[in-house]
Amino acid sequence: MSVKVFHPKTVLFLHAFPLNKKMFKYQFEAFEKEGIPYIAVDYPGFGEGPKPINLDPRLEDYTDYIVWKLKELGVQKVIPIGVSMGGYIIFDLWRRYRDMVYGMVFVATRAEADDEERKKQRYQLAEKVLKEGKDFLIEAMLEAQTSPATKKDPKKMFELKCIMNEATEEGIAAALRAMAKRPDNTDLLETKNVPTLVIAGADDTKVTPPEVVRKIHKGTRCSRFEVIPNSAHLPPFENPEDFNRLVIPWVKSVLTDGHIECL
């Protein structure tokens, strides 16, 4: 767990699948320079997270684990920044722990639940990972989640592969099953009355294209939509310069004035 907390309102980094908090390393450095408090938690089975309690959890189990960590640290309000699976957890935070959410940043994610075919694919992938190992899935994720610019950067591609390799087969399988069972969250969009930033990667053609991510913005009050160039499914890691230039002033404004017009 990475922590730089100074008061009960803090940024909460929620990583993508199948990565861990290290995908936010460029944000940690920049946020510390700006004096912005943050916490980043690895999900069970990823990075420094504990072993999954079981191999067929609910997405809500991940949320409960994160909230337990926050309460341990005395954090009362969060501005979650969630990428992909992290965005699904933001929706669940809003559904069940609404009083804790001070603002939210959705990155390369969607509100809709999986259709039946996608659910079936996730369960099949989970079984295959447990039987054959994770290497095939990591190679597929590296291909699907990165932009042409990132693919041309061997250092970044190597780092991403190393981060993904820190996930356990059990952690990967459990997360796939939890994502398959997540509810549809489109009903929550119109209830959002806190500042919301929605971000897509310009080159995300295979996982969450900008037009899919934009639906969160269209259905949400008091939201802003931005597209980050030279990035696909992992904008904070692929193009941290543009990501930080956008997110840091927005977060600081929420922390200082709370965007009163949204409340």
Q: Is the pLDDT of residue 186 over 50?
A: yes
Q: What's the pLDDT tens digit per position in 203-235?
A: 999 999 999 999 999 999 889 999 999 999 999
CA 203 to CA 231: how far, in whole Å?
Answer: 6
97-120: average pLDDT: 98
Question: Looking at the domain 2-262, which fold is it?
Answer: Rossmann fold (3.40.50)
**pLDDT at position 259:** 58
Percent of the chain at pLDDT > 70 equals 94
Smallest CA-to-CA distance from 138 within 231, 18, 15, 14 is with 18
Q: What's the pLDDT tens digit per position in 125-182?
A: 999 999 999 999 999 999 999 999 999 999 999 999 999 999 999 999 999 999 999 9
Q: How confident is the model at residue 12 (pLDDT cuts 50, 70, 90)?
A: very high
- pTM for the predicted model, two decimal places: 0.95
C-beta of residue 92 within 8 angstroms of C-beta of residue 14? no
**pLDDT at position 85:** 98
Q: How confident is the model at residue 53 (pLDDT cuts 50, 70, 90)?
A: confident
Identify the residue with better confidence: 260 or 243.
Answer: 243
Q: How confident is the model at residue 1 (pLDDT cuts 50, 70, 90)?
A: low
CA 24 to CA 45: how far, in whole Å?
Answer: 18
Identify the residue with better confidence: 221 or 109.
Answer: 109
Smallest CA-to-CA distance from 104 within 241, 3, 224, 18 is with 224
Round the average pLDDT of the chain to a whole number and report it: 95
Rounded to whole angstroms, what are the CA distances from 207 to 83, 155, 160, 227, 250? Answer: 12, 23, 17, 15, 26
**pLDDT at position 181:** 97
Rounded to whole angstroms, what are the CA distances from 182 to 3, 111, 119, 153, 186? Answer: 28, 10, 10, 34, 12
